[in-house]
């Protein structure tokens, strides 16, 4: 088999790949922010000590974590149009699905981070007359975010890799951009190989950054 990567020039990259790269990055950013926000709410519900909050949050988190992401993507994309009465775009479906799915994973990270804070911090806040909400917002959550930052960033890297699964519903992500270029020039093998290299370079570089950050945080502690 003869491999030929010569057809990949800036025109091909700008016309096919860049658009997909932008969406993959956008989806990663939105899903990370949304996942952390809703994941933190789920974590607080599970730690509230109130059964009517803990039970539904635990059911959602455990249920979502028990289903492969690609099945969630396909299920949401195929079933929601029957509920709302009209089709939704693949990109919109991907954004909603990723936020809902990642919230379950980020909630467990945040729950572990909150539980890692010594109880003395909680008691100190209570001694100052803080309410539960003030204690969480001003004392516990800032420390939990700092402790969990390397893990949150690692999950974000995994999330970026998982964005390639939106290919299943036809969303135009980075992988789809490479595939489209390969089909147009009759070189699908080269396109998939280049896509693998790009994913590797991006994720390896980010993993190295997270490793360095983790060492810095450990030194500060």
- Give the separation between CA 34 and CA 30, rounded to whole angstroms: 6
pLDDT at 160: 96
Asked, for residue 130, whether it belongs to a domain, the answer is yes
Owning domain of residue 92: 10-220
- Cα 13 to Cα 5: distance, rounded to the nearest angstrom: 12
Nearest Cα to Cα of residue 98 among 167, 23, 34: 34
Q: Is residue 120 part of a domain?
A: yes
First to last CA, the chain: 54
Contact, 179 vs 188, CB < 8 A? yes
pLDDT of residue 25: 96
Q: Given its phi and psi angles, is residue 49 left (phi above 0), alpha (psi -120 to 50 degrees) or beta?
A: left
pLDDT per residue, tens digit, the chain (221 aa), is 566 666 677 788 888 899 999 999 999 999 999 999 999 999 999 988 889 999 999 999 999 999 999 999 998 898 887 777 777 889 999 999 999 999 999 999 999 888 888 878 777 777 888 877 788 888 888 888 888 888 999 999 999 999 999 988 999 999 999 999 888 877 788 889 999 999 999 999 999 999 888 787 765 55
Q: Is residue 4 part of a domain?
A: no
| 1 inside domain | no
Please indicate, yes or no, if residue 193 is contained in any of the structural domains.
Answer: yes
**Could you tell me the two tokens for 75?**
């299920």
pLDDT for residue 129:
80
CATH code: domain of residue 33: 1.10.3720.10
Asked if residue 5 belongs to a domain, the reply is no
What total of structural domains would you count in the chain?
A: 1
Give domain status of residue 20, yes or no. Answer: yes
Q: How many residues does the chain have?
A: 221
């Amino acid at each position: 088999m003869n491999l030929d990567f010569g057809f990949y020039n800036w025109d091909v990259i700008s016309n096919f790949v860049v658009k997909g790269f932008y969406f993959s990055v956008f989806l990663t950013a939105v899903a990370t922010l949304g996942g952390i926000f809703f994941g933190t709410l789920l974590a607080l519900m599970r730690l509230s000590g109130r059964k009517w909050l803990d039970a539904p949050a635990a059911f959602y988190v455990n249920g979502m974590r028990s289903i492969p992401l690609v099945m969630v993507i396909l299920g949401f994309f195929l079933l929601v149009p029957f509920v709302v009465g009209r089709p939704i775009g693949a990109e919109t479906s991907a954004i909603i699905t990723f936020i809902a799915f990642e919230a379950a994973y980020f909630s467990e990270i945040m729950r572990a981070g909150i539980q890692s804070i010594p109880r003395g911090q909680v008691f100190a806040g209570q001694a100052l007359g803080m309410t539960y909400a003030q204690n969480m917002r001003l004392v516990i959550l800032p420390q939990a975010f700092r402790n969990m930052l390397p893990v949150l960033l690692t999950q974000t890297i995994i999330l970026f890799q998982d964005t390639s699964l939106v290919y299943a519903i036809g969303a135009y992500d980075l992988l789809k951009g490479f595939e489209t270029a390969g089909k147009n020039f009759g070189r699908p093998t080269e396109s998939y190989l280049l896509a693998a290299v790009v994913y590797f370079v991006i994720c390896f570089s980010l993993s190295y950054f997270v490793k360095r950050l983790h060492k810095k945080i450990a030194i500060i502690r």
